[in-house]
Chains A and B, each alone.
Chain A
Amino acid sequence: MRRISTRQLAFMAICLTFGLLAKSIVSPLTNTLTDFFRIPGGSAAIGFSLAFLIIGKQLVPLPYAATAMGFVQSLLALGLGMSVYQGAFVLITYTLPGIVIDIVYLFFRNRREPFCFIAGILSCLSGAFASNILVFHLSGLALLLWLLLAALSGAVGGYCACLVSVKLNDIIKKGVLE
């Protein structure tokens, strides 16, 4: 297994923290939408959190980077009481999207746009699906709406991650963090 440098760890920490912060900042806005439809909040905001994991994965392209960031995010969310409804299940619902991002990266290693976009959608869908099975138990149209919002959030988050990645191109391409 490749050793991970302190600089890489620092960037991963920054990305996962920004991810948690982004979710907290965006949630009040997205909750107005989910409240209107009377479905649980969260699925519409998750993409903005996972966008930072996607950026972090490109900055630190280690095989387990996104999984590790997702797992640490889940511990932080649990420790800081950010998981009111999900409780200990956040360990699964936050880590699973990280695993998905790592898997998608295997297939789109050198293609930034498809990676960001597809990883955004699939990771959000996996998180939303896991939350529904473990906690919310939505069904029918409400479940479809919940998943559509997650996919939309993931698509927008993935696109944003792609735009940010372009700005960070030098760091990614030159492998400053390798």
Chain B
Amino acid sequence: MKRFTRVILFTIALLIIGVVIVGLQVRHQQTETETAGSITLKSGGQELLIPVSDLDRESFSGETVNGKGEHFNNDYRGVELQTLLSEQGLSPDSIHEVTALAADQYSAVYSGDEIRESGRIYLAVEVNGESIEGIEGDRPGVQVIVFGDPDSRRMVRSVEILEIK
């Protein structure tokens, strides 16, 4: 066998090993993301998967209202929506509205003005030290928290998709 043919076959073998190792690593990463749960950001035809674990960033607290009109003061962990969007290269100034879609297809719309208002809309993964459960209870869930909004129906639970327009 000629020397250069050996070099070619050796390089191909190395590339195959590289593909297998990196491929298994990618697959492992995807499985972890699925197990841990994730939300999908949809914007301009692009989709981005964000693991729920990436949303556990800061503590925040405030008063919310439930469907019966009762007021609660809760401590949450999560991330402010405008911060998350900015990190993904979506300037809050350019956002017209965001639709949150839950696992059960329930949805709510948040205006650009609400999102730009500091300290108003958050994505929470933990409330009063306990994880927010998803609809099926087997995976961590994400809930939209809207401070200062008397309409509790807009605090969508088990958010799966955030559609940005």
Contact = CB atoms under 8 A, between A and B. Distances in A.
B38 to A, nearest CB: 13
Contact of B23 (A114, A117, A145): A145
A144 B12 CA distance: 16
Given A113-B5, A149-B19, A155 B26 contact: no
Given A148-B18, A156-B12, A142 B26 contact: yes
Interface residues of B, number: 19
A113 B4 contact: yes
B18 A141 contact: no
B15 A37 contact: no
A126 B5 CA distance: 24
A155 B15 contact: yes
Main SS of the interface on chain A? helix
A148 B46 contact: no
B4 A37 contact: no
Nearest to A113: B4
Contacts of B27: 36-38
Contacts of B4: 113-114, 117
A39 interface: yes
A129 interface: no
B72 to A, nearest CB: 40
Interface residues of A, number: 21
A141 B21 CA distance: 11
A159 interface: yes
Interface string A137-178: 100011011001101100110110010000000000000000
Contact of A137 (B23, B29, B30, B46): B46
A141 B25 contact: yes
Interface in B11-34: 11-12, 15-16, 18-19, 22-23, 25-27, 29-30
Contacts of B25: 141
A141 B16 contact: no
Nearest to A142: B26
A137 B18 CA distance: 21
Interface of B: 2, 4-5, 8-9, 11-12, 15-16, 18-19, 22-23, 25-27, 29-30, 46
Given A36-B23, A162-B8, 13 more contacts: A37-B27, A38-B27, A38-B30, A39-B26, A113-B2, A114-B4, A117-B11, A137-B46, A141-B25, A142-B26, A144-B22, A155-B8, A159-B8
